[in-house]
Amino acid sequence: MLANLLRSSERILLFTGAGASTESGIPDYRSPGGVWSRYRNVKYREFLEDPELRALFWARGRELYPPIYAAKPNAAHQLPVWLHERGRLLGVVTQNVDGLHQAAGLPVELLVELHGNAHQVRCLGCGWGCTRQEVQKRLEAGELNPDCPSCGGILKPATVAFGQPLPPEEIERAREMAAACDLCLVIGSSLTVYPAAYVPHWARSAGAKLAILNLEPTRLDDLCEVIVHAPAAETCERMIHIMESDTA
């Protein structure tokens, strides 16, 4: 049924969450024993004001980043590229910061990263930037609070921290895509993190059909035309195969 819905839609919006990247080797950090359970959350204001909590933020990041850096795109990232190449993708709105949609070949103008991108670091003072991997090397060499080599200011990954507002321009782009799509397909999101999870609400309110591919039920299941409880990459690979067979 999901393949039929994809076949019949012309302006498809994909909304992706952590479950889209699990099969790329990025673990569920929020599970018991995961990194998120072993470090306290550092809020944005705390990151700015308290060097000790900033060091705690970077200590957690030193563990979080290597699997993200090593990850490769899977079929959940290849599906939107496949749809784009056939003129049927409106765009992708993602909660993920792993950069795997770009790595799969999705044009940046079709992508909204609501929570930022983990592969870039910026100085909050002068705006100097570098790759996250460069900072990772400094952390692994023993630095606790890497600072800006240009001005000595505070470095921060280009991701949205706890208590930090989402970029309003990205929210607006997501809202515009939701209003223009004829199908919103949610892949790998529990739809519990707001304001990101408003995106499928906006699409549904604008008259789009809604489909959800997620391992567990979500609070929007009763609004869906199609619900699939299965691994994201495995299912997306099957969808591509089915649709390619149609044109063979």
Active centre residues (catalytic): 115
Which residues on neighbouring strands pair with residue 13, listed in sequence order? 91, 184
Which residues on neighbouring strands pair with residue 227, listed in sequence order? 212
DSSP 69-107: HH----HHHHHHHHHHHTT-EEEEEES--S-HHHHTT--
- The first and second tokens of residue 142, run together, are 């023993």
SS3 27: coil
- The first and second tokens of residue 170, run together, are 């990205």
How many Cβ atoms are within 10 Å of 185's Cβ, its own excluded?
A: 31
- The first and second tokens of residue 201, run together, are 């609400």
- The first and second tokens of residue 41, run together, are 């959350």
> Greatest CA span in the chain, whole angstroms?
60
The one-letter code for the residue type at 40 is R
Q: What is the rounded distance in angstroms from the CA atom of residue 181 to the CA atom of residue 200?
A: 10
